[in-house]
A = this chain, B = another copy of it.
Amino acid sequence: MFPKNTWYVACTPDELEQQPLGRQICGEHMVFFRGPQGEVAAVENYCPHRGAPLSLGRVVDGQLVCGYHGLVMGCDGKTVEMPGQRVRGFPANKNYRAVERYGFIWVWPGDQALADPALIPHLEWAVSDQWAYGGGLFHINCDYRLMIDNLMDLTHETYVHASSIGQKEIDEIAPVTSVVGDEVVTTRHMENIMAPPFWRMALRGNNLADDVPVDRWQICRFTPPSHVLIEVGVAHAGQGGYEADASCKASSIVVDFITPETETSIWYFWGMARNFNPADAELTASIREGQGKIFSEDLEMLEQQQRNLLRHPERQLLKLNIDAGGVQSRKILERLIAAEAAGGGALIASSH
């Protein structure tokens, strides 16, 4: 169960560079390509002629030429032409509203009439030259809500990511969860602790001592349908923590866009935005590599968890205080899905 009248990240511009891209999103088989002005288009990945996948075709002058018999598909899902054929009577493909913004291609898998680009959340880090971003994409066989749970409860860092960002102090400080409108925020502040390896690397990357006590924070923000942006960082202890001056901290935003492929699989766009040394491409690469390694540690856990849950549909997940972020996020999703099912259009408010 996922809302469909909302924006999801579909792919990155890199993925569209050479070829059209076939990708299933929210159960819809789509093909993405660039139209005549370079704008992004998405239509059903199904040739109206004989059902061939249009993603095996190629893009010529902003139109998608089917790789089987040359039907030419336009950005609007209508057949433009086909060698030797009159195409006026051809059935149209469903098309999807797609928008390129912030270094991602966004798609609205539901009712296109409701697709308002203004509802794409503003991402300051993606437009400011004070920030640098690096990230990647994983395919994971799990319900998208399991990944939301994962990210809204960072106590798992102590166990899943013990050698990089985990530390026992995470477990010792209870997180605080609050809900404002459709946003859920789960916060944890740890004071006067030693930084774990990943954060020592980040301190050094910002030319700061890494062998002194720090204050560490995690501020997880869920917004529908399944974006989790997490402010994380460390500051030399006693300098104000999260509020400390930029000169004595290393902080970033963990970026997580979770896009359902099916009920039990996702496209997981992960990354990190940082506002120190933004021009240091080597640092971006090394953070990206470290984060990719860390996030890959979640994969097997999530996939096996999913299989366990499918085996025991009757069992309830516990809802502890540490789970409050995920629990509240799921409540918002339930409300949106119900509203959508009731035909309410379920416009999702922009945030940030």
User: Which residues of A are interface residues toward B (Cβ below 8 A)?
Assistant: 29, 45-46, 48-53, 56-57, 65-70, 82-85, 90-91, 149, 153, 155-156, 158-160, 171-172, 174, 300-301, 304-305, 308-309, 311-312, 315, 317-318, 320-323
What's the least CB distance linking A243 to chain B, in Å? 25
Tell me whether A156 and B68 are in contact in the complex, defined as CB-CB below 8 angstroms, given that A46-B312, A51-B312, A321-B84 are known contacts.
yes
Report the nearest B residue to A171, measured CB to CB.
B83
Contact B85 A320 (CB under 8 A): yes
Query: Closest 10 A-B residue pairs measured CB to CB?
Result: A83-B171, A53-B304, A51-B308, A51-B309, A52-B305, A49-B318, A69-B155, A67-B159, A50-B317, A70-B159
Which residues of chain B are within 8 angstroms of A49 by Cβ–Cβ distance?
317-318, 320
* Other contacts beyond A48-B318, A67-B159, A69-B156: 9, CB < 8 A: A29-B311, A45-B308, A49-B320, A57-B159, A65-B159, A69-B322, A82-B320, A84-B155, A84-B322
Contact B156 A84 (CB under 8 A): no
Which residues of chain B are within 8 angstroms of A84 by Cβ–Cβ distance?
155, 171-172, 174, 321-322
Which residues of chain B are within 8 angstroms of A50 by Cβ–Cβ distance?
149, 305, 317-318, 323
Most chain B beta carbons < 10 A, residue from A51, A174, A312:
A51
Which residues of chain B are within 8 angstroms of A309 by Cβ–Cβ distance?
51
What's the least CB distance linking A261 to chain B, in Å? 14
Most chain B beta carbons < 10 A, residue from A68, A70, A83, A171:
A68
A-B pairs with beta carbons under 8 Å apart, 14 shown:
A46-B308, A50-B149, A52-B301, A53-B301, A56-B304, A65-B159, A67-B301, A68-B160, A83-B158, A83-B171, A83-B172, A84-B172, A85-B321, A85-B322
Contact A53 B85 (CB under 8 A): no
Which residues of chain B are within 8 angstroms of A160 by Cβ–Cβ distance?
67-68
Report the nearest B residue to A157, measured CB to CB.
B69
Tell me whether A69 and B153 are in contact in the complex, defined as CB-CB below 8 angstroms, given that A85-B320, A90-B318, A322-B84 are known contacts.
yes
Alpha-carbon separation in the docked complex, A219 to B257 (Å): 53
What's the least CB distance linking A110 to chain B, in Å? 19
Contact B305 A51 (CB under 8 A): yes
Contact B317 A66 (CB under 8 A): no
Contact A301 B159 (CB under 8 A): no
What's the least CB distance linking A188 to chain B, in Å? 11
Contact A70 B318 (CB under 8 A): no
Alpha-carbon separation in the docked complex, A270 to B84 (Å): 29
Most chain B beta carbons < 10 A, residue from A50, A53, A158, A160:
A50
What's the least CB distance linking A325 to chain B, in Å? 13
Q: Looking at the complex, which one of B29, B91, B304 makes contact with A308 (CB distance below 8 Å)?
A: B29
Which residues of chain B are within 8 angstroms of A156 by Cβ–Cβ distance?
68-69
